[in-house]
A = this chain, B = another copy of it.
Amino acid sequence: MQAEIITIGDEILIGQIIDTNSAFIGKALNSIGVSVYQITSIQDEKQHLLKAFAEAEQNADIIIITGGLGPTKDDITKHTLTEYFNDVLVQNNQVLQHVEQLFKKYINQPISDLNKQQALVPSKAKVLNNRFGTAPGMWLEKGNKTFISLPGVPYEMKALIDNEVLPNLAEKYKRPFILHKTILTYGLGESVVAERIEAIEDALPKHIKLAYLPTLGAVRLRLSGKGEDEAVLAKDIEIQVKKILPLIQDIFVGFQNNNEGLELIIAKQLAKMGKTLALAESCTGGKLSEKFTSHSGASAFYKGAVVSYATQTKIDVLDVSETLINQYSVVSEQVAKAMATNVRQKLKSDFAIATTGNAGPTKGDSDAEVGTVFIAIATKDKVQAFEFSMGNHRERVINKTVNKALELFQKEIFEN
């Protein structure tokens, strides 16, 4: 069972937006045993759409199309799909009513002519209700091939995938099971990890694949399997995991469920321990805090952060002593430790993480080399600081510091 995802919109091709929809759809399809053969992003141009539809029909059983369903003139997906199916557009009264209700509720205005057209759908299409927007999803069949057209607005698309597309696909197609298991490691490079487990990789059974996913400071090992029996498949993957783990014990952090980040593993552990966390961020500028609070349930363990970006804010809000700063500089082990210790006390938390460094591109309030970063971790009993040289690329320095802080902190709490 194979799918192709087609995302439509010039904004993707000129790089004005990043296409996040296809990753979401790929993951969703995988969860019900559908493999994605290809993702194709194309321009808002009729001939190109028709060509992509025809090619996808050759390659895949299920074709999921996003984008180009808005009410404005640059949106041509619905008309082109209607032409591809030799169909005509007809008014769907249920959709019309829904659009009218949305307008009444949110802007308290009667529906405009432009938006009335949102209720037109190909006569052969089954309508998929879009709770959150005016563009309906559309389901069209050609023999055993299914074309599904969805709006490009991410939250509208996501609700349609979860509530309409997956249940309908599961009903229509018989599918194998696809399982992934991802092992998270920190501290060694991709090639070193690969050499350690080479013998296991070479002896993998045919229905199981191994992939290496390196990111700053971390390597994820993903085992993927496909099979008819879910329990057997899970066992087959588990056998390989058990062979790999002893060889990477020193760098093993945990398993990554559903692609979750290290911050979620930490969040669960803190909630389990009944402990709380506070942050003092300088060079990471709020990014660590944003990571922890992007997931629901953060209030169970997260007290908050002081983003002491300016040196004066470290003094005014975190009570870091001016003498200490003058003596050791604002990017120093001593200041990192003071930030962590003080934020832990002020926010009355069990643990605290502090970052101070120079993300560049130019030297800021300190004389430290661009890329120099200190990370401190404070507990009830102790405070430790670690020094790193994170290179000279601002975005990377910030992201590497965030990853490194999470890595150091998870080691701290999992040892406890």
A244 part of interface (Cβ distance < 8 Å): no
A259 in the interface (beta carbon within 8 A): yes
| A395:B294 contact, CB within 8 angstroms | yes
Residue of B nearest to A19 (CB): B19
Task: Decide if A82 is an interface residue (CB 8 Å cutoff).
Answer: no
- Against B, the Cβ 8 Å flags (1 = close, 0 = not) of A70-106 are 1111100000000000000000000000000000000
The answer to whether the Cβ of A238 comes within 8 Å of any Cβ in the partner chain is no
Q: Point out the residue from B72, B190, B279, B394 that lies within 8 Å of A194, measured CB to CB.
A: B72
Contact partner of A23 (CB less than 8 A), chosen from B18, B189, B294, is B18
| Contacts A40-B38, A209-B74, A305-B307; A285 near B290 (Cβ below 8 A) | yes
B303 touches A306 (CB 8 A): no
**What's the least CB distance linking A62 to chain B, in Å?**
13
Q: How far is the CA of A344 from the CA of B76 in the complex (A)?
A: 49
Would you call B16 and A71 a contact (CB within 8 A)?
no
Does A163 reach chain B (CB closer than 8 Å)?
A: no
- Chain B residues lying within 8 Å of A294, measured Cβ to Cβ, are 285, 287, 395, 398
Closest B residue, CB atoms, query A134: B191
Residue numbers in B under 8 Å from A361 (CB-CB): 296
CA distance A68 to B271 in the complex (A): 39
Neighbouring B residues of A299 by C-beta, 8 Å: 309-310, 364-365
Main secondary structure of the interface of A (DSSP, over half): mixed
Q: Mark contacts of A284-299 with chain B using CB atoms, 8 A cut-off: 1 yes-contact digit, 0 otherwise.
A: 1111111011101011
Decide if A307 touches B304 in the complex (CB within 8 Å).
Answer: yes
Q: Could you say which residues of chain B place their CB within 8 Å of the CB of A40?
A: 38-41
Q: Once the chains are docked, how many angstroms separate the CA of A298 from the CA of B310?
A: 10
Interface residues of A in 35-84 (CB under 8 A from B): 35-44, 48, 52, 70-74
Chain-B contact segment, one of A122-130, A211-219, A372-380: A211-219
CB atoms of A72 and B394 under 8 A apart? no
| Any B CB within 8 A of the CB of A20 | yes
Check A346 against B317 for contact (C-beta < 8 Å): yes
The yes or no answer to A174 lying at the interface (CB within 8 A) is: no
Q: How many copies does the complex hold?
A: 2
Q: A265 within 8 Å of B by Cβ?
A: no
The answer to whether B304 touches A306, judged by C-beta atoms less than 8 angstroms apart, is yes
Knowing A155-B393, A317-B347 are in contact, say whether A180-B14 is a contact too (CB < 8 A).
yes
Give the chain B neighbours of A43 by CB distance below 8 A.
37-38
Option from B12, B15, B289, B364 in Cβ contact (under 8 Å) with A286: B289
Does B306 contact A71, Cβ atoms closer than 8 Å?
Answer: no
Tell me if A323 is interfacial: C-beta within 8 Å of chain B. Answer: no
Q: Is A27 an interface residue (CB 8 A)?
A: yes
Report B-chain residues with C-beta under 8 Å of the C-beta of A298: 285, 309
The answer to whether A17 touches B213, judged by C-beta atoms less than 8 angstroms apart, is yes
* Chain B min CB distance to A278 (Å): 8
CB of A154, distance to nearest CB on chain B (Å) = 9
Q: Is the CB of B303 within 8 A of A293?
A: no
Do the beta carbons of B302 and A213 come within 8 Å of each other? no
User: Nearest Cβ distance between residue A100 and chain B, in whole angstroms?
Assistant: 13
Q: Tell me if A268 is interfacial: C-beta within 8 Å of chain B.
A: no
**Bound-state Cα–Cα, A346 to B296, Å:** 29
Select which of B13, B30, B194, B224 is within 8 A of A39 by beta carbon.
Answer: B13
- Complex Cα distance, B59 from A52, in Å, reads 12
> Across chains A and B, which 10 residue pairs bring their CB atoms closest together, nearest first?
A285-B293, A286-B289, A15-B27, A15-B26, A286-B286, A304-B313, A39-B41, A305-B307, A15-B23, A286-B290
Can you pick out 18 interface pairs between chain A and chain B where the beta carbons lie within 8 Å of each other? Answer: A10-B211, A12-B22, A13-B38, A14-B27, A15-B30, A19-B39, A22-B41, A72-B191, A73-B210, A281-B286, A285-B292, A286-B289, A287-B294, A289-B307, A293-B398, A304-B308, A312-B348, A316-B347
List 16 extra interface pairs beyond A71-B194, A296-B359, CB under 8 A: A11-B213, A13-B35, A13-B36, A14-B180, A22-B41, A39-B41, A73-B194, A74-B212, A285-B298, A286-B288, A287-B293, A294-B398, A299-B309, A299-B365, A304-B313, A316-B346
